[in-house]
Amino acid sequence: MDRIFPHLSRRRLITSAAGLAAAGTLPMPAWAKGLPPKSASKGFGELSGEDIHLTIAEHHFATRGRHGHAIAVNGTIPGPLIRLREGQDVRLHVTNLLGEDSSIHWHGLLLPFQFDGVPGVSFPGIGPGRTFTYQFPIRQSGTYWWHSHSGLQEQEGLYGPLVIESAEPDPRYDREYVLLLSEFTPLHPHAIMRKLKAENHYFNRQMQTATEGDMPGAQRRMWGQMRMNPRDIADVSGATYTYLVNGHGPDDALEFAFNPGERVRLRIINGSAMTFFNVRIPGVPMVVIAADGQDVDPVEIDEFQIGTAETYDVIVTPPDGSHALVAEAMDRSGMGIASLTSQPGRVASPPALREVPTLTMVDMGMGEHALHGSGAMAHKMRDTSLLPGDVKVGPGLDMVSAMPADRMHFPGLGLDGVEHRVLRYTDLRAQRPNPHRVLDREMEIHLTGNMERYMWSFDGKKFAAVTDSPIRFGLGERVRVKLVNDTMMAHPIHLHGHFFELVNGADHMHQPLKHTLIVQPGSSATFDLTASEPGDWAFHCHLLYHMHAGMMQVVTVRPYADGTAA
């Protein structure tokens, strides 16, 4: 790996970071004594202040008739809501009582890279029975979250919400709630990974049959030739997932109280491992005021799709009564449910699950005006000559987007045909102007995979193969990055330690800031990045099993001696 500074290697930085940890001899944890794990509580408490203590431990979790192993923090799933204030300093003391290494990544926070919490990239991880202290100043405000970056622990319950209050009072709302959307499965995540590697359709119980629907025969034959299915929407589904709102399943009658006339701020976080949610409150408009913690000009909508790791803040003014707050999985295999109510004890009736959406030729990278059923198009989907020379062609790449159009205007699979108002990236406009910067260069990164073999990568190269060749940016460099999705699945791409500006049609001074970007199937999406945070940063798909299978890279930001770009 490249050096961050000429005299200081990553190994020495990791060692130095480890030296900042407060480590000592701890009481023997329950796992070492052979004791059964405790049951985790649903929901979360709140912690604030300059010194915050978090304990990671084995637990048991149950919801809607499903139960199994889990990892809780301070005994709850999700873990505690951490509430901080812009301008303060914080010390987060994290104790690991697991029988394996663990970590916490502070998703969306601007901080020194050695406290970002990614083992092997920015620090060594937290060993069993050890404590690590994260210490950094709070330089921002907004809605964020935290989660493990060790193995597949995030799927097991190691995540929680994080809210940073603005240094200035916010008069836009009267009360607020944090809604963290996630999933629970009784299967161990490594068992899920094995099943996906053996059969990528294992959890898909909604596959299209030979006679179902109105798809022309030529299209059916082409999908068959490609060994792909137009219902291949989610790798893991309601077949094993129970969808949660703040740790509560659909039968838990979770309520959020309000008084008629109040402006209620909902801080909505997608803390799932693998699920895109479509969020709506039937009959109640929502006004989007922030995306990924960053304020945007208000946009009134009726529904929005939230990808894994994204956050949206909305304000609602619901009329008297009880209203269903619905987070429907994109593949329509289930939903998370709560009630927004002015009448305590009155549970709102949720709507029925909607029809399962179906992928189209556009999702196969054939452009907005593709001729349906063409054998020539099926050939183009395998034509690797369309790829740049730095993309590795091999068994990890089974599809090429022949005409990857920009689809920032697309509201999300299944929402393009609804009659009500749906949020699109092109609706977002930064509330405060961004500093004007001239681009130094442009680059293109391809999102690649082989769905049959469950292999995922950037530019055809898995993470294990690229650790010695990171993506390099000069400190302060301004780069336009085009992401091209050569797969037929949407990917939420997350860059640690930075915000980037979506190139979404807004004027350059008001391009919205985000840390996670959904790249639609067979399409492209573009952002402008000012590489202002020195260090090594993870860059990956936030679908947990995609990242685990290889769709991850390291971004290195460092100054250049001659002031030029890489």
Exposed/middle/buried for 563, CB within 10 Å: 0-12, 13-18, 19+?
exposed
pLDDT of 363: 75
pLDDT of 226: 54
pLDDT of 8: 36
Report the distance separating Cα 517 and Cα 541, nearest Å: 9
Return the CA Rg of the chain: 23
pLDDT of 217: 60
Q: Is the peptide bond before 78 cis (omega within 30 degrees of 0)?
A: yes
Report the distance separating Cα 320 and Cα 323, nearest Å: 9
Report the distance separating Cα 383 and Cα 555, nearest Å: 29
> Mean pLDDT of residues grouped by 10 in the chain (566 residues)?
36 40 49 74 97 98 96 98 98 98 98 97 97 98 98 98 96 97 98 94 72 56 60 92 98 97 98 98 98 98 98 98 98 98 95 92 65 53 82 89 92 95 98 94 97 94 81 97 95 98 97 98 96 97 98 94 53
* Two structure tokens written together for 457: 């990568």
Q: Which residue has the tokens 């073999």?
A: 453
354-369-423 Cα angle (round to 5): 40
Report the distance separating Cα 248 and Cα 252, nearest Å: 6
